[in-house]
């Protein structure tokens, strides 16, 4: 098929999947894989291939860079003792376990080891697409693990290929390969991120900033590949660094544009990838003789099951070496968490790219090309992980009953109160610095206190809701409903008169302060005519144009307060008080407020 036809077909399939997924109550990636399998029954569509260089050079840099930008650096530092062994030792253990399974089923050692390297690492894009229902901390740990384990898998793959083509492997050469891959990838990511930082500091154009951000992952991947290092690791390192420094070197319009463009682009690439995985499975099945399919299906199921077992046992055996922060959860919760983490580790794009990269005829596979065996089993493992693990994951999350983690909500509320209080404390100095009149300053002070009161009330309401939920759960467990708790619940379900009155008053006062109410359309027209008359008359006192002056003062002071809030917010991040993702959420809100004040023309 022609490239345009393939593009239209993929786009229509993604559209159909996006429409069907909510109605079927299934995750979108699962629906897209099923649609890809269905399309594979058409011979012409089955010929659409997924070149490995397309995944490695086009799909992965963009998707991994975005996942790195939206990953918490504080969470990586906090759980580093968990992430490091899971992204290195577990990958090696999984690869050799799979190789052992392959040997039991008669695969040559080289073929079995290549297969193990392909299916060993959980995939970051699959985890990001299907794992958001997980508890927050578990999701971030799994995401960080998936971002960094690809380098280990690619090193194993290179060693296995060398063995398959008759290369001489020594402990020294293996060590050198590992050091070059990891150290070179990290160095390439740091260098490219540093160059990107210097360039972003020197530019202010929205389009140029986002073009620079788009090039960073591709340049990092290219440089790493040129020196024989891990391009995947280079992209991840560059993304983490850029995510940390971007608030200080990008503008509000560029960040809002990026927040809109990147998720949409990654959504399309992810969708196309899942559809192509389904097509690839159909293609491989039709390339293999019917007599061999049964044996390969058994190998696929055995490999998939062994990956789950190895992951669970590795977590169980390495538990004493993990750092503990906070109170230790009960034994039952820990056991259920390990089961949940085991099923959340799904395979995806990297595994398929590694399998497709195997040179045809490089491995002797007995009666058939070993490459076909590797691709078949890898595609089957990906399919099982997406369909079986993905479909079971919601039920396992409910079964695990992991206690709700309120840390992110609490940090968000703390950050909101802190930056609002700091802005109010600096209001007088900023008003003097920007030559703002007292009435404008007092108006902004009133609005600031109103917002601070709203933030405090929202925090108290959330805490009261948690208390009410605990009381209700205790009453249900004892089988004796408490009338007082019932009355509290009734007030919680309905509108709290005091809270509603406060919120209504705050909204009304804000609208009155902004001038949105208190003036009829007729009055607006009259004022507009008056302003027009003043603008064209030479006999009227210029101070009667004070609405324009007050608006300019209001804008200047609010922009100065936004700068102060950002400064305090980044200070909270540097001190580790709030998480990177909380900073990202609040920064997005501050950017929207700045664009509202400055106007959409800032995008030009």
- Residue by residue, what is the 3-state secondary structure of 557-570? HHHHHHHHHHHHHH
| 442-475 pLDDT, tens digit each | 888 888 888 888 788 888 888 888 888 888 878 7
Share of the chain above pLDDT 90, in %: 31
Which of 269-273, 400-404, 468-472, 531-535 reaches the highest mean pLDDT? 269-273
Q: Are residues 204 and 171 in the same domain?
A: yes
Number of domains into which the chain is organized: 2
Q: Are residues 69 and 215 in the same domain?
A: yes
**Final residue belonging to a domain, choices 384, 400, 416:** 400
The pLDDT-based confidence of 386 (bands split at 50, 70, 90) is confident
Provide the pLDDT for residue 75. Answer: 86
Percentages helix, strand, coil for the chain (3-state, rounded to 5) are 80, 0, 20
**Final residue belonging to a domain, choices 334, 366, 400:** 400
Q: Is the pLDDT reported for residue 116 higher than 90?
A: yes
Q: Are residues 317 and 240 in the same domain?
A: yes
Q: Are residues 29 and 86 in the same domain?
A: yes
Unique residue bearing structure tokens 């058994």: 298
Q: Are residues 311 and 451 in the same domain?
A: no
| 150-185 pLDDT, tens digit each | 888 888 888 888 887 776 777 787 788 888 888 999
Instruction: Determine the Cα angle at 182 with ends 214 and 63, to 5°.
Output: 30
**Final residue belonging to a domain, choices 400, 426, 454:** 400
496, with CB counted inside 10 A (0-12, 13-18, 19+), is middle
The pLDDT-based confidence of 566 (bands split at 50, 70, 90) is very high
| 247-302 pLDDT, tens digit each | 999 999 999 999 989 999 989 988 888 898 888 888 888 888 777 888 999 999 99
Q: Are residues 253 and 169 in the same domain?
A: yes
**Residue, of 526 and 334, whose pLDDT is higher:** 334
Cβ atoms of 35 and 203 within 8 Å: the answer is no
Q: Are residues 387 and 413 in the same domain?
A: no
Provide the pLDDT for residue 357. Answer: 80
Task: State mean pLDDT over 525-542.
Answer: 41
The two three-digit tokens of residue 430, written as one number: 């900023």
Provide the pLDDT for residue 299. Answer: 94
Beta bridge partners of 364: 369
Least confident window among 16-25, 245-254, 328-337: 328-337
Q: Are residues 306 and 451 in the same domain?
A: no
Task: State mean pLDDT over 233-249.
Answer: 93
The pLDDT-based confidence of 51 (bands split at 50, 70, 90) is confident
Residue 357 CA to residue 161 CA, distance in Å, equals: 10
Task: State mean pLDDT over 85-101.
Answer: 93
Provide the pLDDT for residue 530. Answer: 38
Q: Are residues 88 and 217 in the same domain?
A: yes
Q: What is the CATH number of the domain that holds 29?
A: 1.20.1530.20
Q: Are residues 118 and 63 in the same domain?
A: yes
Residue 302 CA to residue 310 CA, distance in Å, equals: 12
Cβ atoms of 580 and 431 within 8 Å: the answer is no
Share of the chain above pLDDT 70, in %: 83
Q: Are residues 131 and 114 in the same domain?
A: yes
Give 589's contacts (C-beta < 8 A, 6+ positions apart): none
Provide the pLDDT for residue 1. Answer: 60
Cβ atoms of 425 and 535 within 8 Å: the answer is no
Host H or E run for residue 368: strand 368-369
Provide the pLDDT for residue 139. Answer: 87
Residues in the chain: 604
Q: Are residues 358 and 478 in the same domain?
A: no
Provide the pLDDT for residue 369. Answer: 55
In this prediction the pTM is: 0.79
Written as one string, the DSSP assignment of 52-114 is HHHIIIIIHHHHHHHHHHTS-HHHHHHTHHHHHHHHTHHHHHHHHHHHHHHHHTT--HHHHHH
| Range(s) of the domain holding residue 593 | 407-603
| CA 87 remoteness from chain centre | 18
């Amino acid at each position: 098929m022609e490239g345009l036809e393939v593009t239209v077909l993929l786009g229509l399939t993604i559209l159909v999947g996006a429409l069907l997924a909510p109605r079927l109550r299934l995750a979108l990636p699962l629906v897209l894989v099923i649609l890809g399998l269905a399309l594979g029954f058409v011979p012409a569509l089955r010929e659409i291939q997924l070149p490995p260089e397309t995944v490695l050079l086009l799909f992965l840099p963009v998707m991994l860079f975005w996942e790195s930008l939206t990953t918490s650096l504080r969470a990586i530092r906090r759980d580093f003792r968990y992430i490091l062994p899971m992204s290195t030792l577990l990958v090696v253990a999984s690869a050799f376990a799979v190789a052992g399974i392959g040997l039991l089923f008669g695969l040559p050692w080289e073929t079995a080891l290549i297969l193990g390297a392909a299916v060993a690492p959980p995939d970051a894009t699959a985890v990001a697409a299907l794992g958001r229902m997980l508890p927050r901390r578990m999701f971030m740990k799994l995401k960080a693990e998936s971002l960094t384990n690809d380098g280990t898998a690619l090193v194993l793959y290179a060693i296995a290929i060398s063995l398959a083509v008759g290369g001489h492997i020594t402990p020294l050469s293996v060590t050198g390969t590992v050091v070059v891959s990891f150290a070179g990838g990290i160095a390439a990511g740091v260098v490219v991120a540093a160059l990107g930082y210097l360039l972003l500091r020197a530019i202010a154009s929205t389009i140029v900033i986002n073009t620079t951000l788009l090039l960073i992952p591709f340049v990092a991947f290219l440089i790493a590949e040129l020196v024989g290092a891990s391009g995947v690791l280079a992209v991840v390192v560059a993304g983490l660094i850029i995510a940390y420094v971007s608030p200080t070197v990008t503008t509000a319009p560029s960040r809002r544009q990026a927040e809109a463009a990147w998720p949409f682009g990654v959504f399309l690439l992810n969708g196309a990838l899942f559809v192509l995985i389904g097509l690839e499975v159909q293609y491989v099945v039709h390339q293999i003789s019917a007599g061999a399919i049964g044996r390969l299906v058994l190998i696929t199921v055995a490999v998939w099951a062994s990956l789950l077992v190895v992951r669970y046992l590795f977590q169980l055996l390495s538990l004493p070496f993990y750092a503990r922060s906070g109170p230790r959860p009960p034994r039952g919760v820990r056991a259920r968490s390990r089961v949940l983490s085991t099923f959340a580790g799904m395979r995806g794009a990297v595994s398929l790219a590694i399998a497709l990269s195997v040179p045809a005829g490089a491995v002797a596979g007995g009666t058939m090309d070993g490459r076909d065996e590797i691709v078949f089993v890898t595609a089957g493992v990906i399919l099982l992980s997406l369909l079986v693990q993905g479909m079971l994951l919601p039920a396992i999350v409910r079964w695990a009953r992991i206690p709700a983690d309120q840390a992110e909500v609490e940090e968000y509320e703390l950050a909101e109160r802190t930056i609002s209080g700091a802005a109010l404390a600096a209001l007088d100095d900023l008003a003097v610095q920007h030559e703002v009149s007292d009435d404008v300053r007092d108006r902004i002070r009133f609005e600031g206190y109103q917002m601070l009161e709203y933030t405090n009330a929202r925090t108290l309401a959330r805490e009261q809701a948690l208390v009410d939920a605990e009381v209700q759960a205790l009453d249900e467990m004892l089988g004796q409903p408490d009338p007082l708790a019932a009355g509290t619940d009734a007030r919680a379900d309905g509108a709290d008169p005091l809270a509603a009155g406060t919120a209504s008053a705050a909204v009304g006062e804000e609208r009155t302060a902004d001038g949105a109410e208190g003036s009829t359309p007729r009055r607006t027209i009259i004022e507009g005519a008056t302003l027009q008359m003043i603008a064209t008359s030479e006999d009227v006192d210029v101070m009667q144009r004070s609405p324009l002056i007050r608006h300019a003062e209001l804008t200047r002071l609010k922009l100065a307060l936004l700068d102060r809030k950002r400064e305090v917010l980044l200070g909270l991040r540097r001190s580790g008080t709030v998480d990177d993702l909380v900073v990202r959420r609040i920064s997005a809100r501050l950017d929207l407020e700045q664009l509202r004040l400055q106007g959409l023309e800032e995008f030009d």
